Chain A
């Protein structure tokens, strides 16, 4: 087997702040690697072609579809999933707002939705409701009708802006 067509790839990355070294099948999706090999089942697999957003994770600071990225591409990457973002309290205000506003029902879309929302919030501005709706338009939610999610994200944006001023 030539170097170009190896079917197993060695990768070295950090996941949720911890070093991970693995030999992954060349065709394995990042989300499958996280779920099957690392037991990180927080992000979910739903459409497997980049439309629904349930598998959204953070890779090198960007919200990324875990089903559109190969694990082999993650060599050297810094990856965060909802588990790590929870453990480090990075999004606890957003999570609390989701619970308080009941911005989730079945919860299957929620880990991906949180990563996508945090990407918007991390820009530091207070987005309009229309901007929040636009930014989250890559994340399906079939349960809530979205309004509660928009409310929760809006309240966190306002809360963080308020803190920044004091």
Chain B
């Protein structure tokens, strides 16, 4: 029996409705349990002495003063930890040519970025550990520093890892059609240089881990703020030489992730190694400076790109040359080549055109390592694509909405394969654009813009269409050899009181995973969501799964939960049919009652069925199955990824005297397939948009030429605050994926993917009458005034 989603009045119709999050009440009461809230008996604290220089040979290490600090129990150097922890190399077989040197939990001979952990100090209090770490004396012998991306491969640039031969980590060229011929014969060619700044996630909860090694049981338990508990289980087992079955990763409440907490960090592995050596629980909580210098960075790209169009505005070709600097190591185990690879995969995404060339060049440098951060590669690819499309429209005198309508894949064209060789199952660019234009009242806004200009105000409208990669299959990591599960599972059981428990391999980071699972399971079984208890984030308890990344929780984890719930429903009805001497197919479960499917007449509450099965099984037929626990797994098979689509618009005002941009309003229409919980999806979109707006206007990690990070505090690295952010109107088109019964695709990254491009296009729309244009993010007042020619020194 399939669920008639088109009927909102169907029984148990929780999928598609806003239901409360089961875990929200505890969080507003301060009853959350984040890693730093956990205290274990005999717990110790570790703090790290980190490299103050970007590249140096590690000479003599003097630990006497550190060891003398009251409360310090032990100090570990990199050499000490090599005895208990093996290094890792972050490459994937399908990213051909990707190379990276072995990375240790603590630097052994060389430090390669400011912030790399070198010495670990363990003490009875965090204060003592931090004090002692500050008096660790390391003799750093300076080595040449590489900071610039574009010159990293030059002959006279020092090679950071001589054994690798050069500073090239990865390069991929993709070419489709006859690009050069298309450019030569084009009506119009527009070129531009784009720059996206180095960002970091700024999770309010810093990276946190508490590891307890029980030598008597040979079991390690890691309480970890992570997105991927099973991946971490595998990593800790492998590098600390523990059977995988003897590592338990528990992920309770997590204070924000956005991709930051899905990677393997040397200091966290060091914490686990130290716990194993000392046989006592050891806690590491990063401080804010450590967050800035050691949380992964992202989006540090420089791009030269051009587009060719004909006289009707049809896109003939795109040519993209993307460069990115990833720090000294590819990050384990997902690698740091994925972001550049995504730029190649995603540029031109919404558009039906034939000739496409894109190359990404990924180089090593002595800065914090970069890796996957919310909307990996998307904001870059969308900025390139949508920036060029707007410039082309302006060059041929066409409205930016019109040029997009002439080029977007028709809504009935699917399935199609893009020139980047991405397969699209079903998208809705035109329906989404139509909805956006109506929602924002585009014509009125243009009139308002014209009126404002008469008064000397420079307002602009920016549009950005986009695609988003969600629901990844093993094509993302598994085929490259990484033990990262693309499959996910859910176990659903009915307890004697008729309540339902769901255990899922996807995790909660605040996005509402547990609410989503509760309503999917509630509808699948036929109980109220409040009668479903959801358990996530414990590798010893839940089915093996991938966790939360690449917008996979609802699409993959939700489908596994639905199938498990439907299987449990069938099991319950099989027992009910025997008890009621009825046909199972004539029965249904609604609001926790077994009912006649046709009439809705109540036949038996689930708690009575539970009482009989668990306590009076003797009264049931001997051969009757009574398995009130069911597990199902789900993996996508038909498409490597479930692409979604959407379009955003920004309306803003540029103060041409100060260069300050004021965001007036923001709109987004997106299509994530079946919407399970409208409120949660809308809030994912809004939160994502604001993270994208931060990249467009404020966020930029600065380094000097010596590789010193210059703005490692929240006062200096600006993120969006309430006062500067606009209200956002969000709407949806629903094109469910046919790969699953649930039909859900991901929604976590759409906001971040499109917002920066929408703002860039709006600023340039405002400035176009003045002949100014900006393409280097963030669009600070200084950059805008420079573009206007008001600063030239």
Contacts and interface: CB of A to CB of B under 8 A. Distances in A.
Does chain A bind chain B? yes
A142 B680 contact: no
B201, B253, B686: residue with the most chain A Cβ atoms closer than 10 Å: B686
A40, A52, A145: residue with the most chain B Cβ atoms closer than 10 Å: A145
Contact of B37 (A41, A136, A145, A148): A41
A46 B295 CA distance: 14
A82 interface: yes
A48 B288 contact: yes
14 contacts: A47-B713, A81-B30, A95-B25, A100-B20, A102-B679, A102-B680, A104-B28, A107-B24, A111-B28, A133-B722, A143-B510, A144-B686, A145-B689, A145-B691
B277 interface: no
Interface in B252-297: 253-258, 285, 287-288
Interface string A85-114: 010000000010011101011111111001
B515 to A, nearest CB: 9
Nearest to A111: B30
Nearest to A46: B204
Contact of A145 (B25, B201, B256, B725): B725
B715 A44 contact: no
A46 B258 contact: no
B288 A105 contact: no
Interface string B691-733: 1000000000000000000000111000111110101100000
B297 to A, nearest CB: 16
A150 interface: yes
B256 A108 contact: yes
Contacts of A28: 127
B508 to A, nearest CB: 9
B512 interface: yes
B680 A107 contact: no
Closest 5 CB pairs of A and B: A42-B30, A107-B27, A106-B510, A108-B255, A145-B690
A116 B170 CA distance: 48
A117 to B, nearest CB: 10
Contacts of A25: 127
Contacts of A81: 30
Interface SS majority for chain A: loop
B301 interface: no
A12 B682 CA distance: 47
Interface residues of B, number: 55
Contacts of B288: 46-49
B206 to A, nearest CB: 7
A142 B691 contact: yes
A149 interface: yes
Contacts of B728: 145, 147
Contacts of B714: 47, 49, 51-52, 140
Contacts of A51: 713-715
B404 interface: no
B683 interface: yes
A71 B32 CA distance: 24
Contact of B34 (A44, A95, A149): A44
A54 B722 contact: no
B760 interface: no
Which interface class (under 10, 10 to 19, 20 to 34, 35 or more) fits A?
A: 35 or more
A119 B561 CA distance: 42
Nearest to B257: A106
A56 to B, nearest CB: 12
Contacts of A137: 721-723
A17 to B, nearest CB: 15
Given A98-B28, A148-B683, A49 B715 contact: yes
Nearest to A107: B27
B204 A86 contact: no
Interface SS majority for chain B: loop
A64 interface: no
B256 A95 contact: no
A41 B202 CA distance: 21
A42 B257 CA distance: 19
Contacts of A145: 683, 686-691, 720, 725, 728, 751
A78 interface: no
Contacts of A83: 29-30
Contacts of A107: 24, 27-28, 32, 253, 255, 510
Contacts of B725: 133, 145-147
B104 interface: no
A43 interface: yes
Given A48-B288, A49-B715, A104 B24 contact: yes
Given A99-B21, A108-B203, A141-B722, 17 more contacts: A35-B37, A41-B30, A47-B714, A81-B30, A86-B29, A102-B21, A102-B680, A104-B510, A105-B510, A105-B512, A106-B257, A108-B255, A139-B722, A140-B202, A142-B256, A142-B687, A143-B511
B244 interface: no
Contacts of B512: 102, 105
Contact of A134 (B255, B509, B723): B723
B686 A147 contact: yes
Contacts of A108: 32, 34, 203-205, 255-256
A18 B61 CA distance: 49
B421 interface: no
Contacts of A109: 204
B166 interface: no
A121 interface: no
Contacts of B37: 35, 41
Interface in B1-60: 20-21, 24-25, 27-34, 36-37
Nearest to B683: A102
Interface in A40-76: 40-49, 51-52, 54
Contacts of A111: 28, 30
Given A111-B30, A134-B723, A145-B728, A46 B687 contact: no
Contacts of B202: 140, 142
Contacts of B36: 35, 41, 44-45
A45 B715 CA distance: 16
B722 A146 contact: yes
